Amino acid sequence: MPATATAEEQAPPTHRESRSWGRAWEDIAEGVKQRELWGHLGWQDIKQRYRRSVIGPLWITLSMAITAAGLGLLYSQLFGSPIGTFLPYITVGFIVWNFILGCLTEGTDTFIRNEGLIKHLPAPLTVYALRMVWRLTLMFAHNMLVYFVVLAIFWSYLTTPGYQISPGGLQQPGLSWNVVLAIPAFAVLAFNGGWVAILFGIISTRYRDIPQVIISLTQLLFFMTPIVWTTDILTRVGPDGGGRWRVLVAELNPLYHYIEILRAPLLGNTQSWHHWAVVGAFTVLGWAVALLAMRNYRARISYWV
Amino acid sequence: MVSIDVWNASVDFPIFDAKSRSLKKAVLGKVGGKIGTEQKVPIIEALHDISISLKEGDKVGLVGHNGAGKSTLLRLLAGIYEPTRGSSRIVGKIAPVFDLGVGMDPEISGLENIMIRGLFLGMSRKQMEKRVDDIAEFTELGDYLQMPLRTYSTGMRVRLALGVVTSIDPEILLLDEGIGAVDAAFLNKARARLVDLVDRSGMLVFASHQDDLLFELCDTAIWMDEGQMKQRGSLREVLTAYKGKDPFAHLDQEALERLGEPPVLTSKSGEV
């Protein structure tokens, strides 16, 4: 076996260790570079889901419009809030929540659903994470059509300085050029989608109970997060001056901060910088853990799926 | 420079059954000792202590029984599995054609699948658009390329997969046994392209149970047995040892000449 003999003569390489920061980083850099691949796959996913339906991906827009209109009408009556301010609030909350929900639930599925591709074609794992984030971004874009329609209908309500979402609530400054803050806010959200997909994807591939845990928690999280209700309720001080602790219900929920950085500029609400600070901290922490997981378990994924 | 080097590599698959794959054991198992921890996961050693060095121009056939580790070895060479022990280094552009049912989306058209495969193999969208006509012509699928892949027969899928990998100038071509599903006429055409490809710039590793395919595409061979390399040498030697008889013996004179093989094994002509 002459060829085998030469292999034994050479020293095995040490710099190509599977578990190294270099390999993890290389995977991410290579994955990002294959923009055309994940771009194509993500768009393919959307087209695939609505193949042979007459209006195609517009179903995303339509179902969001129906949900927003229905819930907007219902909850504005339940809370006795003006529909002109409460319906846009619920609509935007829902659109942002849908993106976050997608990252959480589909993130657990990142590698499991791509089992076939992972086992048959060598490609950076990051490609599959980016495929998911891109797919959700496209869905977000479709949902934003609803936002623009709602904005057009309720323009006069939202642009009035000092409008209140619910009666007796915080006075909002009204829609202004601050709306451009929504762009970096979404970029930050999508960037966070990346670590969620990698980290949740890796853990879920190894432990198949995690997706179920996440799914059962998201339902609860939805009701715990101010989406169909406002923080005005929490800040309302009880007749005896108590109940201030209730603010913590929202403040301790990281998803509230994620939603708020994007929702506030889109609705012309008061923007508090502490939301950005919290989101920034979670971004750094999340990516750090995701990179660590990537370093240690990147090479194991093809064995686990 | 195209090369694949594998040093003392082993591939161990952890087999998580329903019990150990869940968190239940890892979390609840903490109570009362070491039940259900990592060591309890059964492991299948699919490859054991493999050392290979392949270089440009190598045309290697993989033979062995079912479950001997041929497909796993191909995936190790493709870089899909990184060795659990030992190490590997792969230099070159890899184009694998493995299990043809997987890695292709049955719901989308052949054309879309060509595009996705090409993108996965490192092509850009523009480069693939230029090659689509060539692939369509080579595969002879014509208007079928507009149809969803689920309407394709196995042979048609093989045509598509071979069309893509041979059109993108890969440096390392890894083929699993599935490609035997195409008809003889197409196989002839594909062989010409594959041989041409390997001669130009590449390396071929081909797992197959069909001797005639191996004769056409490979000159050396590796015999895999129970996850280990049992023998490596010229195709004829290895096949003779594996089959227990010289598979070239019953080929007619014309075929032997085409393959450039002497009528009998070894230089000691006259005695077998």
Q: Which residue has the higher pLDDT, B172 or B32?
A: B172
Among B20, B23, B52, the strongest candidate for a mutation testing the A interface, having the largest count of A CBs within 10 A, is B23
Least confident interval from A243-257, B31-45, B205-219: B31-45
Which residues pair with residue B205 across a beta bridge?
A: B60, B174
Is pLDDT at B135 greater than 70 in this prediction? yes
The ipTM is 0.83
d(CA B91, CA A299): 18
Residue-wise DSSP of A57-82: THHHHHHHHHHHHHHHHHHHHHTT--
Least confident interval from A47-56, B205-214, B262-271: B262-271
- Output the pLDDT for position A52: 84
The mean pLDDT value for B168-174 works out to 88
- Output the pLDDT for position A265: 94
A123 near B CB under 8 A:
yes
Residues of A in contact with B14 (CB under 8 A): 303-304
Q: Which amino acid is at B240?
A: T
Is pLDDT at B15 greater than 90 in this prediction? no
CB-closest option in A119, A206, A209 to B102: A119
Cross-chain residue pair B94–A303, CB shorter than 8 Å:
no
Is pLDDT at B87 greater than 60 in this prediction? yes
Is pLDDT at B246 greater than 60 in this prediction? yes
Residue carrying the six token digits 């800040």: A235
- Output the pLDDT for position B33: 41
- Output the pLDDT for position B27: 58
Could you report the per-residue pLDDT of A188-228, keeping only the tens digit for each?
A: 999 999 999 999 999 999 999 999 999 999 999 999 999 99
- A:B CB pairs within 8 Å: 109
The mean pLDDT value for B9-21 works out to 75
φ, ψ dihedrals at B55, nearest 5°: -135, 180
Per-residue pLDDT band at B264 (split at 50, 70, 90):
low
CB-closest option in A4, A120, A299 to B102: A120
**Interface list for B 61-80 with A (CB within 8 A):** 75, 78-80
> Which of the residues in chain A have pLDDT under 70?
1-16, 237-243
Closest CA to A27 of A128, A96, A144: A128
The mean pLDDT value for B157-162 works out to 87
Per-residue pLDDT band at B269 (split at 50, 70, 90):
very low
Per-residue pLDDT band at B36 (split at 50, 70, 90):
very low
- Output the pLDDT for position A29: 95
